[in-house]
Amino acid sequence: MRWLLLLAWLSLVEAQAQEAEISGLVINHTITRTGNDFYRKFSERINDAGDLKANLVIKERPSARWGILIWVELENSTVYREFLSPNATSQDETAYRAADGVLNEISRRQVESLFADHIDMDKDEL
């Protein structure tokens, strides 16, 4: 009888551990001051919008010729990408516009997942 209770308890703990996923993180993988400023303003806008149901990663690649390529990844796919000039004065507007676009993409994906058919395959297998 004790083994049965122990197995039931272990299966309950395992089910709760699988459901406990951290979400709402915006991870900074920028290396320049312009990228860091973009990250800060982007994060402000995302946090002002409310609870984020996904994790985002902001990355950048500086280039002497083109400026700074900055992109935002959601579930290992790029949802926003743009070249930024290091001396541009409208970085705040660009970050806010990017955040709004990413929030729209997150909402679109959530609605799309409600109508997706996952009977034969798991979500990761698609």
Q: Which residue has the tokens 């995302």?
A: 46
What pLDDT score does 1 carry?
A: 57
For the chain, the domain total comes to 1
Count each helix (H run) and each strand (E run) in the chain, helices first: 3, 4
**Residue 43's domain is classified under what CATH number?**
3.40.30
What is the rounded average pLDDT of the residues 17-33?
78
3-state secondary structure at position 79: strand
C-alpha to C-alpha distance for 83 and 62, rounded to whole angstroms: 9
Whether 5 is in a domain gets the answer no
pTM for the model stands at: 0.74
On whether residue 110 sits in a domain, the answer given is yes
Assigned domain for 83 exists:
yes
Indicate whether 91 pLDDT > 70.
Answer: yes
Tokens matching residue 41: 């303003």
Q: What is the pLDDT of residues 40-52, one digit of tens each?
A: 999 999 999 888 8
- Rounded to 5°, the CA angle 93-95-101 comes to 100
**Domain hosting residue 79, numbered range:** 21-115
